[in-house]
Structure 1
Amino acid sequence: FRFLYYLVVVWLVSASDAKNCSEPPSVDNSIFVMHEVEGQALGTYFCLQGYHLVGKKTLSCNAFQDWDTPTPTCHLGHCPDPVLFNGEFNSSGPVNVNDKVTFQCVDHYILKGSSWSQCQENHTWVPPFPICQSEDCGPPENPTHGYFEGHDFNSGSNITFYCEKKYHLVGTQHQQCVNGEWSSALPVCEPAPKTEFEKALLAFQENKNLCQATESFMQRLKESGLILEELKYSLEMKKAELVAKTLL
């Protein structure tokens, strides 16, 4: 025979307070306990043994003497049914307290988390349910002022990161997809450090005293070991860059 349990109501407030609220919504297989907190009438649902609550546990009686919604329900099983997308577990029916389930993922997915969980007295699972993560990585984000080369993001594939001109890469340039994750943290592109000539030229431009600026400029070039031929080449490159910009 199948027995169906109905709502049992327990009033822990005065009779007058109880009359001020409408009859609580019926929830099968539960006990409803009404109590008062700082003048506010509250009602809490407790599921019978072998059932677990789904929804809001405690309702309040509003100014219109109605209970707020939505109403919870009591589902069969001491704990909620296990859930594992792209995976399998060894439970097929209502769960009882202390029941343990084990998890595994389908092909091409990797288990992240514990391979088992146990139903507790308080209707929760410990440890938490794992997830099944694809063994493929998916395309990474381009670093700011950079990009990557590679079109295959499956497990075992490789990609290479590069930076735009005047930026240099900080981090791992060559990376591989391993167990659904790239082998290292994604790199970043930072401004490339200035050459000694660029530093000397910047100091020259910022100094308003022409004689002092020229003397300081030549001294820095001498200290850096930059010869006149190298200086001439650097200036020609700068000139070419400026011409190219004006033509754009």
Structure 2
Amino acid sequence: MEKPFTLFGAVGSGSVPVEAAMTLIGLPYQVVEAPTWEGPAQQAKVAGVNPLRQIPALVTPDGETITESAAILIWLADRYPQAGLAPAPDSPLRAQYLRWMVFVPAAIYSLFWVRDDPSRLGGPDLDAQARIKAATADRIADCWGMMESQLTPGRYLLGDDLTVLDLYVAVVSRWGPRRRRFYEVAPKMSQVVRRVDADPRLTAFWAERFPFFDGWESQGAAG
């Protein structure tokens, strides 16, 4: 029996696009649930593989550790090209694929370190924390809008083939300020993420790892 990958992650977190990619590839994997935002006990689960105590972190069957969601997704798609989850290195789509795979964590995902705990920058002042939440929500919406303006999607973001970029955007766009605002600023990309949401190969996966509960698309104005 093939030895499984071990993924440190959590429901609704940055591990979800990685899990979705591994599901589509057909890889055996096990998830160590570690919602690190819940405090030291959960962070300690990850400390041995990622000194930043953050998820996701992937341990391969050979014992190699890979952190950073974009890096893991790019590596998986390249390591298993038969799944067709990334443009080939010589594809004319490759440069834009890499551009946006780096853009999502650099411009958007990184802001959740602040959004998850605004006191990290705003201190105990609740008004300052509210301003930080609102400003980061605006910044995220602006970044999605900029990405929208630079893409001409087909069925998926880079054309007619699903890639890990589609999985990545489908998950990250569900975080605050959530999908309603994403739909407003990125209507073309919205058609793509809805298609990923509805992919029949992922129906059971979404139900378990990022359920579509009532009201999941909306969030308060402060985001």
- Whether TM exceeds 0.5 here: the answer is no
Q: Which structure shows the higher strand fraction? A: 1
With normalisation by structure 1, the TM-score equals: 0.17
Bigger relative contact order (CA 8 A; separation at least 6): 2
Is the radius of gyration larger for structure 1 or structure 2?
1
With normalisation by structure 2, the TM-score equals: 0.18
